[in-house]
Amino acid sequence: MASFAMRPSYIALTLCLIVSTLCGLSVSSPLLTTEKVKAEEPVVVVEGMVYCQSCELKGTHSLSEAKPIAGAKVGVACKDEKGRVKWYQAHKTDSYGYFYASVIGFAPSMDALSSCTAYLLSSPDPECNLLTNINGGFEGSPLRYKGNLKAGKVLLYATGPLAFRPARCHPLTHY
């Protein structure tokens, strides 16, 4: 017991714990936890656009005259080296057909992100809800590294524009 009384750091830590417990405060100290403090890892984000392909260009890979789809759902999935899904999230587009998704809960390396793809899930537009495979819309569009933002704290990846097509298109008349 006498050896503990001689250590000022032990006394200070004990007093700190007693005061914080009485005051309802939370104290975090490397002496109190076995977890290693991780260096701040950059946040990974994925962005892209979702469109409705025009009837005139149905059957092509062109998105000329395409209109953005608000509220479309896009899935982002990352697989391991055996092809198993290790991470998945679904995201909705904003009113301009744009989605910006933080990859939360997946600590990827640059190599691991090459296994990530984005793909179409659903369209809220009943007139334009058939999947296309433009830029890998239903097979999975690979992510492209676009750069870093905020002094390297955000790594930005993008997918090619994805598109649904109308279920019914009026026949073109030529006169």
Q: Quick: pLDDT tens for 65-90.
A: 899 999 999 999 988 788 888 889 99
User: What pLDDT shows up at residue 164?
Assistant: 95
What mean pLDDT, rounded, does the chain reach?
Answer: 76
Instruction: Map out the domains of the chain with their CATH numbers.
Output: 1-35 (no CATH), 43-165 (2.60.40)
More confident residue, 172 or 8: 172
More confident residue, 141 or 108: 141
pTM above 0.85, yes or no: no
**Residue 140 carries which DSSP code?**
-
Q: Quick: pLDDT tens for 127-174.
A: 999 999 999 998 999 999 898 887 678 889 999 999 999 988 877 666
SS (H, E, C) 38-75: CCCCCEEEEEEEEEECCHHHCCCCCCCCCEECCCCEEE
DSSP H stretches of helix in the chain: 2-5, 8-23, 110-113
Nearest CA-CA partner of 52 in 171, 174, 168: 168
- Identity of residue 95: S
**Quick check: 164 and 131 in contact, CB under 8 A?**
yes
Q: Which residues contact 49 (CB under 8 A, 6 or more apart)?
A: 68, 93, 97, 98, 99, 161, 162
Residue 18 confidence (pLDDT) above 50: no
